[in-house]
Chains A and B, each alone.
Chain A
Amino acid sequence: MSASPENGEFGTVPALQAALHAEHAAVYAYTYVGARSGGRQRERCYEHLEAHRAQRDTLRVELNERGATPDPGRPAYELPEGDRDSDLDAYAQRVERQAAQAYLELAAAPAAAVRDLALRSLQDTTLRGMEWGTRLPVFPGFVQGTPPSQAGS
């Protein structure tokens, strides 16, 4: 297997690395939130932490299968505005939104198996975001909230 893009237009490996980066950030975020929350918020946090750890491992396998070295992650990531419940909820929402954007990018991969992974992951991260209070977007994953217009393309 090669780490180079399958075609000249889209690089599956960079997109997998971007998704892995989002998963590293999510694991860091939920570890942070879990240590500062309680009750149902804490339970949900650890459920989502486990889900993101599993996703991180899946992406590492996908990268290894393509001969690429998985990004090891950073020592620290962006933190929430504060430690109030509302701050932690907003932090979790942001983490899931960033993961959704990474998986939407991955959905452009030419390989059907990678697209399937991207779709399932995008669906899961959309649901997790809703659990933290995100209003369901019409087009999950698109940075601007809507797909780019085809006019003039």
Chain B
Amino acid sequence: MGNDYGAVSRRTVVAGALAGIAAAALSGCQGPRWYPSEISPDEYVLRAVITEKRRLIARYEAGVSAGDGPVDLLERVLGHHRDHLAALRERLPERPGREPEAPETEKSPGPGPAPVGDEPVPVSGLRVAEQSAAASRARQLARLSDSGLAQLVASIGACETGHARLLSEA
């Protein structure tokens, strides 16, 4: 009887362990609730905004290099995005043993963090990109716990809305 009790206990333990693994796997699939252990939810959002900024900068750099369209406006907006990127990078936490991010130079180094074509994007495409960026700020704001970072992201979103207006009038 003692052996039977022990066998049931082992089965229970094994079943419990499997259920635990399944639960852990499911919770890991929830996406927004899961982060690499060393990256906080705020940093996750911050890095996403930084990635978007780099893509926008690459697009404007291509437009300015091509010399087509309202170059003065594109250079002005490009300057705004670089200022945004610098302010966002300043919020990244410092970690011992990890090199700090290189400051933004005149040209984005190498290929962008996500595929951005070499062809200059037309002004209408830039306007859509600005509208999309501004819209994504609302989703990102909802996920931030740091109130100062939330204000920075909100301000950047307002500036991007202004960019879309300027591009629509260009």
* Chain A residues in the interface with B (C-beta under 8 A): 9-10, 100, 103-105, 107-110, 112, 115-116, 118-120, 122-123, 126-127, 130, 136-142, 146-151
**Does the CB pair B158–A108 fall under 8 Å?**
no
Cα(A113)–Cα(B28), bound, Å: 27
Q: Which residues of B contact A9 (CB under 8 A)?
A: 147
Cα(A6)–Cα(B159), bound, Å: 29
Q: Smallest CB-CB separation from B154: which chain A residue? A: A107
Q: How far is the CB of B147 from chain A (nearest CB, A)?
A: 4
**Does the CB pair A126–B147 fall under 8 Å?**
no
Does B59 touch A at the CB level, under 8 Å? no
Does B22 touch A at the CB level, under 8 Å? no
**Does the CB pair B142–A115 fall under 8 Å?**
yes
Q: Which residues of A contact B156 (CB under 8 A)?
A: 139
Does B90 touch A at the CB level, under 8 Å? yes
**Does the CB pair B165–A122 fall under 8 Å?**
no
- By Cβ-Cβ distance, the 7 closest A-B pairs, closest first, are A108-B147, A107-B154, A112-B142, A136-B162, A140-B158, A123-B161, A126-B158
Does B10 touch A at the CB level, under 8 Å? no
Cα(A118)–Cα(B158), bound, Å: 10
Other-chain residue from B137, B147, B165 in contact with A119 (beta carbon distance below 8 A) = B137
A-B residue pairs in contact (CB < 8 Å), sample of 24: A104-B154, A104-B155, A107-B151, A110-B145, A110-B147, A115-B154, A116-B138, A116-B141, A122-B158, A130-B162, A130-B166, A137-B159, A138-B80, A138-B84, A139-B83, A139-B84, A139-B152, A140-B158, A141-B158, A142-B155, A146-B83, A147-B87, A147-B148, A148-B148
**Does the CB pair A138–B159 fall under 8 Å?**
yes
Q: Which residues of A contact B154 (CB under 8 A)?
A: 103-104, 107, 115, 118-119, 122, 141
Cα(A108)–Cα(B83), bound, Å: 21
Q: Smallest CB-CB separation from B145: which chain A residue? A: A110
Q: Which residues of B contact A147 (CB under 8 A)?
A: 87, 148, 151-152, 155
